[in-house]
Amino acid sequence: MSDSIPDHEELHKGMPQSGNRLLADVSLPAAVIHEPALAYNLAWMQRFCEAHGARLAPHGKTTMCPELFQRQLAAGAWGITLATAPQCRAAFRHGVHRMLMANQLVGEANMAIVAGLIEAGADFYCVVDSIANVEQLSHYFTARGLRLKVLIELGMPGGRCGCRDTDEVMALAERIDSEQALVLSGLEGYEGVVHGNEPERAVRAYAWQLVEAAQALERDALIETPQPLITASGSAWYDMIAGVFHEARLSAQFVPVLRPGCYVVHDHGIYRQAQRELLGRQPQIERGLKPALEIFAQVISLPEPGLAIIGMGKRDIGHDQLPEPLRRYREGDERGRSLPVEGWRLTKLMDQHAFVQLPADEDEPGAGNGRVRVGDIIAFGVSHPCLTFDKWRRICRVDERLEVVEVMQTCF
């Protein structure tokens, strides 16, 4: 047995890099973004926001991918939304200078991160919903000699964070007005927690509540900045939020900002269904977003008739809905010809194994040249891409020929 250590080149075989053939040179499983769909989605959402007189600040927590942040900004995004202080720091280190933290800034360690970002030149916003948090922020940022731009969050009964009604918003605004270190810069909300028998009606009512609260703040001269923000929307109801903001003609008083994140790669699950509903509400929109993110993995065992075991599991792909088999390829096929997976169904995920039920005779010798083999490569569609991105540190961006054109890094 040799004790020699493999050379540097050997150690890096199988690691994705530009010029690799996805079906031959990349160790699988791998996270894959298809460039044509990605480019289409970037342009689609930017056009949508501009048509509604709104700015786009896509939620970066979806991908935490600096290369995608830069693509979004280059396409016209106003800034990037983040969820935590460390996420904001990571984005700033990779060139994002305007950021909206759609969350409460709590804890002195997190405040220290944000203070450092502001001192370094970041245009930073966060949200508040309580006098306790206002006092904490005022104490810390006064001591640092800095002013912090805050948005009041308006929530809803039974939701997560946020003031529960306009009276609470106004009372909190008056308290912020008395704190020199805090600059009230607008209003923030999130409609994604709306539930009930008539969710569309509830989302629209909530959007109008945001409008009326923002107008009340403006009327009482409680907003300090000359271009205050009004911001909401996740990845499911952004059309309704944009529609109400546009209908209210807010752009004369506020900067309307939409914050969808999953649009950048879309999905084959919950957001595919949300997009179908959006297109039903918006018949003038002929084509919606396209799924761009897939996980490529290989058949590693055919242990019994009707069952294929795939080398992919919960550590590789989100599973709030089970992944969907989309296409199959032969390993090494330079032409990238896909084989059908009609009738294939993923039934179970373990840590690093997926159970796929095959249709009758799919794995029998009589199935001909299309018979499934150990080593075949399967492309799987994901649902809720946020829960897949965080499992990867390198993502392959590929062209139509399934050639890797860029290896994108994540910074979770």
Average pLDDT over residues 292-299: 98
pLDDT in tens, 239-274: 999 999 999 998 889 999 999 999 999 999 999 999
Q: What percent of the chain has pLDDT over 70?
A: 95
Report the alpha-carbon distance of residue 41 to residue 264 in Å, rounded.
6
pLDDT band of residue 7 (cuts 50, 70, 90) is: low
Residue 168, classed as helix, strand or coil, is: helix
Distance of CA 235 to the CA centre of its chain: 8
Q: Above 70 in pLDDT, residue 2?
A: no
Look at residue 1 in the predicted model and tell me its pLDDT: 47
Take residue 305 and report the two structure tokens written for it.
């008739």
pTM (global) more than 0.75: yes
How many CB atoms neighbour CB 80 within 10 A? Answer: 30
8 A C-beta contact, residue 386 and residue 319:
no
Q: Return the C-alpha torsion angle 163, 101, 262, 54, nearest 10.
A: 80
Report the alpha-carbon distance of residue 80 to residue 261 in Å, rounded.
9
Q: Above 90 in pLDDT, residue 141?
A: yes
Average pLDDT over residues 134-145: 98
Look at residue 193 in the predicted model and tell me its pLDDT: 85
Look at residue 19 in the predicted model and tell me its pLDDT: 78
What residues pair up with 125 in beta bridges, in sequence order? Answer: 100, 149
pLDDT in tens, 352-406: 999 999 998 776 554 556 799 999 999 999 999 999 999 999 999 999 999 999 9
Position with higher pLDDT, 123 vs 9: 123
pLDDT in tens, 77-112: 999 999 999 999 999 999 999 999 999 999 999 999
The residue length of the chain stands at 412
Report the alpha-carbon distance of residue 398 to residue 70 in Å, rounded.
18
pLDDT band of residue 218 (cuts 50, 70, 90) is: very high
Report DSSP state, residue 368: G
Which residues have CB under 8 Å from 290's CB, separation 6+? Answer: 36, 37, 40, 41, 266
Look at residue 8 in the predicted model and tell me its pLDDT: 57
Look at residue 366 in the predicted model and tell me its pLDDT: 47
Average pLDDT over residues 129-142: 98
Least confidently predicted of 31-35, 94-98, 268-272, 283-287: 283-287
Q: Domains plus CATH for the chain?
A: 15-32+289-409 (2.40.37.20), 97-260 (3.20.20.10)
Report the alpha-carbon distance of residue 194 to residue 236 in Å, rounded.
11
| Burial class of 142 by CB neighbour count within 10 A (0 to 12, 13 to 18, 19+) | middle
Closest among 57, 22, 58, 5 to 404, alpha carbons compared = 22
